[in-house]
Amino acid sequence: MPGEDEDYVDQFLFETKAGYCDNFSTSMVVLLRAVDIPARWAKGFTEGERLSGENIFEGSKPEYEVTNNNAHSWVEVYFPNVGWVPFEPTVGFDNNSSFNYGERQDDQLEQEDQELEQPETPEMPKPEEGQEQEEDDSQAAAGWSISKPMQFTLIGAAVVLLALVIWLIIRKRLVIMSKWKGKRLEQHADVDTFTEGYQFLLQALAKKGLILKEGQTLREYASDVDLWFGHGEMSKLTTYYERVIYRDEPMDEHHREVYRLWNRLVNEILA
């Protein structure tokens, strides 16, 4: 560190001759400005350390850890007709910038405009009057056999029908999901299927206003549900669920009873 009466750049260039990115970049800016070259000092961070890779099959993106050790400074120099160009004076870092020398910006823009110009489309020979009339008649017969008002009416009816179908699906989504979940629970006697069915049951009950409160156990919640419906089916199903989840008991022996309880509860909820 320079003393109070020492200049930061002078000490680095003529005394210590050793430093980090701030020393190199600051000295370059001072030297450039000393010869009337526009320069500015910039600071930011490098890309950091990659923690995880990108998995395109799972849709994940790479993750990086950026710490204070990744802080870095560099120099940007202004070139007429080009703009601000970054430079990397620090030892051990690369300059990734490149630009064309000896070309004016106007020349580059003119070249780009020429590349963007499209060649003129050759003019096709015009058909004879009789031939043109025949083509128009054939197109009218092929494409306009239905009047325009009728086409608009059909399109409107199709839109209304589609909206009605979407509305019915949204309104009956719980019923549709219950049929699918029930079919799986009837055919599969495994923990995952039972868990999916039980979680669906909790969602359906929440839609009805019977929400599992924070801090409430499943048994306490099941008692509230049974009190609402006037029977003990939810408590029985919850007992089977806890035995399968927490005791790791096989559900083959109680599979039919589990499905019966679940099916009755769902039917009462969606009735």
Q: Provide DSSP, 154-173.
A: HHHHHHHHHHHHHHHHHHTH
Q: What is the pLDDT of residues 82-120, one digit of tens each?
A: 889 999 898 877 665 544 444 444 554 555 555 555 555
Cα separation of 258 and 196, whole Å? 13
Tokens 């008692």 correspond to: 223
What is the rounded distance in angstroms from the CA atom of residue 142 to the CA atom of residue 31? 78
Q: What is the mean pLDDT of residues 185-212?
A: 88
Q: How far is CA 44 from CA 29, 54, 61, 71, 245, in A?
A: 16, 24, 22, 6, 51
Give residue 142's Cα distance to chain centre: 45
Give 211-264 pLDDT, tens digit per residue: 888 888 888 999 999 998 888 999 999 999 988 888 888 888 889 999 999 989
Q: Per-residue pLDDT tens for 57-76?
A: 555 677 888 888 888 899 99
Distance from the Cα of residue 255 to its chain's centroid: 40
Q: Give the rounded percent of residues in the chain with a pLDDT score beyond 70.
A: 73
H-helix or E-strand spanning residue 73: strand 71-79
pTM of the shown model: 0.40
- Alpha-carbon distance of 70 to 48, in angstroms, equals 6
